[in-house]
Amino acid sequence: MQITRRRQTTILLMVMGVLTLFTRGVAVGQQTDWYPSPWGADDQRGAANRLSPEEVLAARDLITTGQVYQLGRVYEAGMPVFGTRHFSLKIPYPLGPLGENQTTAHEAIISGELGQVGTQFDGLGHIGIGDLFYNGLSRHDFATPDGLTMLGVENVGPIVTRGVLIDVAAYKGVEMLDGGYEITRSDLMGALTQQGVSISTADVVLIHTGWGSLWMVDNERFNASEPGIGLEAAEFLIDAEIVMVGSDTWATEVLPNPDPSLAFPVHQLLLTKSGIYNIENVATELLAADQVYEFAFVYAPLLLKGAAGSPGNPIAIR
Amino acid sequence: MQITRRRQTTILLMVMGVLTLFTRGVAVGQQTDWYPSPWGADDQRGAANRLSPEEVLAARDLITTGQVYQLGRVYEAGMPVFGTRHFSLKIPYPLGPLGENQTTAHEAIISGELGQVGTQFDGLGHIGIGDLFYNGLSRHDFATPDGLTMLGVENVGPIVTRGVLIDVAAYKGVEMLDGGYEITRSDLMGALTQQGVSISTADVVLIHTGWGSLWMVDNERFNASEPGIGLEAAEFLIDAEIVMVGSDTWATEVLPNPDPSLAFPVHQLLLTKSGIYNIENVATELLAADQVYEFAFVYAPLLLKGAAGSPGNPIAIR
Amino acid sequence: MQITRRRQTTILLMVMGVLTLFTRGVAVGQQTDWYPSPWGADDQRGAANRLSPEEVLAARDLITTGQVYQLGRVYEAGMPVFGTRHFSLKIPYPLGPLGENQTTAHEAIISGELGQVGTQFDGLGHIGIGDLFYNGLSRHDFATPDGLTMLGVENVGPIVTRGVLIDVAAYKGVEMLDGGYEITRSDLMGALTQQGVSISTADVVLIHTGWGSLWMVDNERFNASEPGIGLEAAEFLIDAEIVMVGSDTWATEVLPNPDPSLAFPVHQLLLTKSGIYNIENVATELLAADQVYEFAFVYAPLLLKGAAGSPGNPIAIR
Amino acid sequence: MQITRRRQTTILLMVMGVLTLFTRGVAVGQQTDWYPSPWGADDQRGAANRLSPEEVLAARDLITTGQVYQLGRVYEAGMPVFGTRHFSLKIPYPLGPLGENQTTAHEAIISGELGQVGTQFDGLGHIGIGDLFYNGLSRHDFATPDGLTMLGVENVGPIVTRGVLIDVAAYKGVEMLDGGYEITRSDLMGALTQQGVSISTADVVLIHTGWGSLWMVDNERFNASEPGIGLEAAEFLIDAEIVMVGSDTWATEVLPNPDPSLAFPVHQLLLTKSGIYNIENVATELLAADQVYEFAFVYAPLLLKGAAGSPGNPIAIR
């Protein structure tokens, strides 16, 4: 077959088009209506853009008693982790004694998928739809062995804003929701109404399921499934324009998903499509026990250059 | 030589006494007047006991503009570290795609002496005088391969209190103090007077030396020495009953010490003897540039069970 | 009580004596007849001193078919490990492509107690009796955070000598000995007689128990106990002046010990007192299946400076 | 433009063809004549297939004195590494004392790119040409976060064969070749002639350059460049059908390549195209000093499942 120069050009353009589709999402069966982000095609911070001094001042005004809640879990060997992740902490022999003053120094040597074990903050480089991540960025353009050159957690910055606890377990009248229970929009709205609070733009929303009571008590069950929000409830939170959602579970979303063909779809909807952060294994039981539904929330991800997530010990102040 | 039973007993008691001295500090030439701690012989939190809801409310009242300063340094390969410490962050191939929704997930695998690299918080299990640590606790009683069973950073809790920046570089009229320059009590007092602020009980005091401008610019020089407080200035801070001191250097204290026989004596005076925490490699230049001398300081060490320190990204809010 | 100068001296000398006893073993209730070692008070290589060119030539003469057996186990996530040890292997994104020739490079990032997971070689710095290790060396004199300054595995050197398999499982007529079964001197002698081989100076002796068939099949059971040699059988091997013993179990010795007051006493007898090495999790089933009872054994520990052990993939050649 | 069904098909086929070319190497400017491998399209062992009992017996016959040379370098903090790789070894506090027999146990906790630091063995999963590795396998088909599912070093098996040292430094009359010096075919042939040995099928060839004398002496210079074989000399080794080449440098090949547009092309030619292994940082000076040019070579890569390489302590026996 002889191909004219013009036809060559036509074919080349079509090839390029197909290739572009391949690398920009159509090939993985996704809509392309989720990027560029509302914060521009160059944005790497997602819903952190909703934070502002006004939010800080509003959070400040929620501080009335000075009580501080520590919402992180203890990082320790034997805590439940997903798949082949690990967490190791060892104490080497001390340095020294040094000098006439005999200084001795302990260090801790730590390894693991920090940012994906224990209390963990999911950055925008963590979850993709096929090769595409937040803002339609292809991992082929930003993932390197030495770190993500875009969407790393060092871009997020401190999160100081109003926090709201939604105690769905209490709303449903149980100590702990069942594994696999999908928290619905109706659950969230009902619990909020019962609590007498509402959520608004730039909030951090923490959902108490009671599942955290299995932590270090029945790790196998803790890991096997979990109650959590489904796609519908996630849409509710997206509509509310929050900054971050979190829970006392290891994924925040219901597992397994009621649709068995889907794997972690809520992560994609929140992080990849909406730029909304997710923090997992939060010690929400402390707030639930005291019925603290509104508080100043403070958390600053570690500036781990190019990391997909961060460990953390977020706090609530009221 | 024949030894009577009575003499045997006498000798045995003396032996025991000598041994006790050996294990409780006299043998290393230290006074024993620094323990038990003012917070009791069982205390593991040191100056964190000075924190209270009142301090939180006082810090809240310093928040007037809602501006947040991120005081952590970026953790990255190639940052200056001490001795044989390391920091490694690598991005493995992504998990997935999983499910029909094609979820892809990046993780970061990290190893290193976290808590002793980058922005680092020294816990009370970090520094000892010979075998003795804070509250006279012997490392033989609490140090295990899997963590410190006492004095671990998980005991500290969130630090929410008034923060004060002392810009000693500005007070001395320089961009950066020289390596080996000992910051004196007079320097601290002079700078505070010039700034029009004072320090008080339960404060966190951050000292700006300008040395942080060498970070990732001239790491060799950064590591070779540093300006910092000496024993005299540390006594001033101890008398003021602060909770924590920090600086834009890797040790906060002057290095080398003007007395060449001493190795890190300020660490011992603050942490071991006084229970006052130390946070290093703080990005104080942000506060200095804006002349922010008073602020709400918020930092919660990671709950690393049995660790000697914690990484961090502390924040200042004004 | 007034103490004369002379009596002071007497007491001081006695104190020193007691202290010496404390640090040299009497205080831990052990005999002091096991050091200095037969290879001198400065020796760090123990039974590796039995190796010589003659042993190499004798091993060479056992090579008649050219068949090579690989005796290491596969290192992988999920393999059974003791306590809080771990093994992690991750593949980061590749480097490159670099240059016009587009070189791409994979690496593996690994962490763990290498030398104490999987097929593992115990060096002389691994096991002590209280504070005392091989040759009466006190860990206070050689253990540092950055490595053992004496007894590190880098001192061992290649082990090329005659290897002997003792198939105790076959001798007892079972596929696998029971967990907790103590292999006796009689078992070893009986099996050797049945096999028609004997052991002699400088041999490496591998003991097949069948327990290795649980590896990655029933890790929980594999770890919970094991068949292995007891103190009596160990004495038999010591008398035979071997260089190293090994097995298809994670400790070579019977666990739990029939005397419940003892923890890993065979390790002490072999390594600490006799300088005889121990290699664990050896794939002896390959030799047992082929009834290979004599072979050239070759293994060179990694030159991990100051390490207590080494991973390995020893080989048998016949 | 209207596109008929037939033309659609034509275009689709062309698109598929182009895509295939993209993923199978043409797009990266490489010939496709290097796969499938001579050992079949499913082979994962490359030149290790050249090993056989005959080679073992031939190696055995080279053992005449029983002298063993240890060819590994010491792994230690501060050794030269490439890029952001690291090696960390720390000794945690000992376990125990356990039992009445007071068993104490040291471990070493190690992290790093083992297999790509120190004495290092490059497996076939290490180096690719764009996305294609040995046997034309695409990394998209075998690289996962938890290991390479094909071409991992666990496939190699023990390497027991004749070893040949080529002392190019001696041939050129120098202690150490210059960094950037390209060892040519003529150099190899000349040195072999001078030494009175030849190379043949299934050999392991070690090249002494003297560059290893910089190891831990001038690490910066050691890393900055190196003498080594170029593409021409590599072809000579390929024609000789060897199993592995190695050297006392960190890459075996000349760096920088005389053609500045090329990055590690010899690695590609050997590993990717020819299935010939490469071992780096070999202590060849021991053999060179004794003028040992022929020997039995023994090395078994660690069975690190899915790893790109392995650490090692290869030995030469004569």
Task: Give per-residue pLDDT as tens, D12-46.
Answer: 444 443 444 444 433 334 446 899 999 999 999 99
CA distances for A272 relative to A151, A278, B98, C6, C58, angstroms: 11, 11, 15, 83, 66
Contact between B171 and B194 (Cβ < 8 Å): yes
CA dihedral A123, A124, A130, A132 (to 10 degrees): -160
Contact between A35 and A41 (Cβ < 8 Å): yes
Contact between A201 and A240 (Cβ < 8 Å): yes
C-chain residues near A77 (CB < 8 A) = 84
Rounded CA separation D195/D119 (Å)? 26
Residue C127: strand pairing partners: D105
**Nearest chain B alpha carbon to C83:** B146
- Report CB contact under 8 Å: C107, A145: yes
> Of A56, A96, A145, which has the smallest distance from its Cβ to B317's Cβ?
A56
Contact between D79 and D118 (Cβ < 8 Å): yes
For B296, counting Cβ atoms within 10 Å of its Cβ (0-12 exposed, 13-18 middle, 19+ buried), the class is: buried
- Report CB contact under 8 Å: C143, D89: no
Tokens of A47: 């819903």
User: How far out from the chain centre does Cα D219 lie?
Assistant: 21
D-chain residues near B145 (CB < 8 A) = 92-95, 107
- Report CB contact under 8 Å: D93, A93: yes
pLDDT digits (tens, 9 = 90+) for B162-188: 999 999 999 999 999 999 999 999 999
Contact between A233 and A265 (Cβ < 8 Å): no
Mutate which: B64, B95, B101, B317, vs A, most A CBs within 10 A = B101
**What is the H or E stretch that residue A246 is in?**
strand A244-247
Using N-to-C axis directions, what is the helix angle for B5-23 and C5-23, rounded to 10°? 60
Rounded CA separation C3/C12 (Å)? 12
- Report CB contact under 8 Å: D78, B84: yes
**Nearest chain D alpha carbon to C302:** D313
**Contact partners of D by the rule of 3+ C-beta pairs under 8 A?**
A, B, C
Rounded CA separation A184/A232 (Å)? 6
Its sign, for the CA torsion B162, B168, B169, B172, is: positive
Residue D204: strand pairing partners: D163, D244
pLDDT at C307 over 70: yes
Average pLDDT over residues B242-254: 98
C-chain residues near A88 (CB < 8 A) = 84, 86, 88, 111-112
| Percent above pLDDT 90 for chain C | 90
pLDDT at C173 over 70: yes
- Strand D277-280 to D228-229 pairing: unpaired
Out of B1-5, B31-35, C209-213, pick the least confident.
B1-5
Lateral strand order in the sheet of C95-98: C95-98, C103-105, D127-129
**Contact partners of B by the rule of 3+ C-beta pairs under 8 A?**
A, C, D
Beta strands in D118-232 (DSSP E): 120-122, 127-129, 143-144, 147-148, 159-167, 182-183, 204-208, 228-229
pLDDT digits (tens, 9 = 90+) for C95-116: 999 999 999 999 999 999 999 9
pLDDT digits (tens, 9 = 90+) for D251-282: 999 999 999 999 999 999 999 999 999 999 99
Mutate which: A110, A159, A255, A269, vs B, most B CBs within 10 A = A110
Q: What is the pLDDT of residue A32?
A: 62
pLDDT at C288 over 50: yes
Mutate which: D84, D131, D140, D149, vs B, most B CBs within 10 A = D84
pLDDT digits (tens, 9 = 90+) for A111-155: 999 999 999 999 999 999 999 999 999 999 999 999 999 999 999
Q: What is the pLDDT of residue B22?
A: 42
- Report CB contact under 8 Å: C109, B90: yes
Tokens of C27: 């205080």
- Report CB contact under 8 Å: C78, A84: yes
pLDDT at A207 over 50: yes
- Report CB contact under 8 Å: C144, A88: no
- Report CB contact under 8 Å: B102, A262: no
pLDDT-derived band at B12 (thresholds 50, 70, 90) equals: very low
- For chains A and C, CB pairs below 8 A equal 34
Q: What is the ipTM of this complex?
A: 0.90
pLDDT-derived band at C279 (thresholds 50, 70, 90) equals: very high
Rounded CA separation C316/C299 (Å)? 9
Q: In the 8-state DSSP scheme, what is residue B53? A: H
Q: What is the pLDDT of residue D47?
A: 98
- Strand A294-299 to A87-90 pairing: unpaired
- Report CB contact under 8 Å: B146, C84: yes
pLDDT digits (tens, 9 = 90+) for B282-311: 999 999 999 999 999 999 999 999 999 999
* Mean pLDDT computed over every residue of chain C: 92
Q: What is the pLDDT of residue B121?
A: 98
Rounded CA separation C129/C34 (Å)? 11
**What is the H or E stretch that residue B63 is in?**
none
pLDDT at C11 over 80: no
Rg (CA), chain B: 22
Higher pLDDT, D134 or A3: D134
- For chains A and D, CB pairs below 8 A equal 36
Q: What is the pLDDT of residue B32?
A: 62
Residue C129: strand pairing partners: C132, D103
Average pLDDT over residues B183-202: 98
Mutate which: B303, B305, B318, vs A, most A CBs within 10 A = B303
DSSP states along B186-226: HHHHHHHHHHT----TT-EEEEE-SGGGGTTTSHHHHHH-B
CA distances for C20 relative to C44, C129, D235, angstroms: 22, 16, 66
Rounded CA separation A202/A49 (Å)? 9
**Contact partners of C by the rule of 3+ C-beta pairs under 8 A?**
A, B, D
Q: What is the pLDDT of residue C197?
A: 98
The string over A159-198, giving b where at least 16 C-beta atoms fall within 10 Å of a residue's C-beta and e elsewhere, is bbbbbbbbbbbbbbeeebbebebbbbbebbbebbeebebe
Mutate which: C73, C103, C141, C154, vs D, most D CBs within 10 A = C103
Tokens of C8: 């002071």
- Report CB contact under 8 Å: D103, C306: no
Q: Which residue has the tokens 């100076």?
A: C201
Contact between B89 and A103 (Cβ < 8 Å): no
How far does the CA of residue C11 sit from the closest CA of chain B (Å)?
7
Positions of chain D with pLDDT under 70: 1-32
Q: What is the pLDDT of residue D32?
A: 62
For B8, counting Cβ atoms within 10 Å of its Cβ (0-12 exposed, 13-18 middle, 19+ buried), the class is: exposed
Average pLDDT over residues C47-56: 98
Q: What is the pLDDT of residue A288?
A: 98
Contact between D242 and D203 (Cβ < 8 Å): yes
Average pLDDT over residues C58-76: 98
**Contact partners of A by the rule of 3+ C-beta pairs under 8 A?**
B, C, D
**Nearest chain A alpha carbon to B98:** A263
Tokens of D312: 């090692």
Q: Which H, E and C letters describe A111-145, residue by residue?
A: EECCCCCCCEEECCCCEEECCEEHHHEEHHHHEEC
A-chain residues near B268 (CB < 8 A) = 101, 103
pTM: 0.90
- Report CB contact under 8 Å: C86, A84: no
Q: Which residue has the tokens 């036509």?
A: A10
> Up-side HSE of residue A317: CA atoms within 13 Å toward CB?
33
D-chain residues near C145 (CB < 8 A) = 90-91
Its sign, for the CA torsion C56, C58, C59, C65, is: positive
The maximal CA–CA distance of chain A, rounded, in angstroms, is 89
- For chains B and C, CB pairs below 8 A equal 36
**Nearest chain A alpha carbon to B151:** A106
Contact between A156 and A307 (Cβ < 8 Å): no
* Mean pLDDT computed over every residue of chain B: 92
Contact between A44 and A135 (Cβ < 8 Å): yes
**Nearest chain B alpha carbon to D109:** B145
